[in-house]
Amino acid sequence: MDEPKFQIEDLIIEGILAGVFRTCEAVQLTPFGQWVLEPFKDVFTDDLAVTVVDKVFRAAGRQEMSDTDFLRGFVDLALKHGEDGLGLLEILNGKTVRAHVADALGAASVQFGVFLVLCGVYLKSLADEAHRVAVKDGTVALVG
């Protein structure tokens, strides 16, 4: 029996209903979504964001993609361990971070898949602030 497809669009809709996402020209965090991720600011650094974005684009073999395709690629890589993935599960399972994950899931009343997309949206915004990507009209493109 095949496992159900992981539908990023469904997770985004669920996140919108939970109040952690909004969509404008791209999927963005609401103030509540930013609050949920506040405890991770020391873990989710600009350097990590740039590394993550680079890996997602390298795996896709593209320089530009839709926001949803970026998030789909992010979640796919986030679920892989070690060198094949982003190392995100290892980070989130760390002793000091694990309790924050449980708090975030409880505060937002969302499933782990929505939380992973939340992490992807946040890291994408950090990479945008670091001028590694440009987010415009629903697309994410590498800069430089």
Domain ranges of the chain: 8-142
Residue carrying structure tokens 């899931």? 105
Does the pLDDT of residue 1 top 70, yes or no? no
The pLDDT value given to residue 87: 86
pTM, rounded to two decimals: 0.87
- The number of residues making up the chain comes to 144
Show the tokens assigned to 136. Answer: 């415009």
Is the Cβ–Cβ distance between 130 and 49 less than 8 Å?
yes
pLDDT tens for each residue of 18-47: 899 998 778 899 999 999 999 999 999 999
List beta partners, residue 134: 141
Least confident of 5-14, 57-66, 92-101, 115-124: 5-14
- Tens-place pLDDT, residues 117-142: 999 999 999 999 999 999 988 899 99
Ramachandran category for residue 97: left, alpha or beta (phi over 0 → left; psi -120 to 50 → alpha): alpha
For the stretch 67-100, pLDDT in tens is: 999 999 999 999 888 778 888 888 888 888 988 8
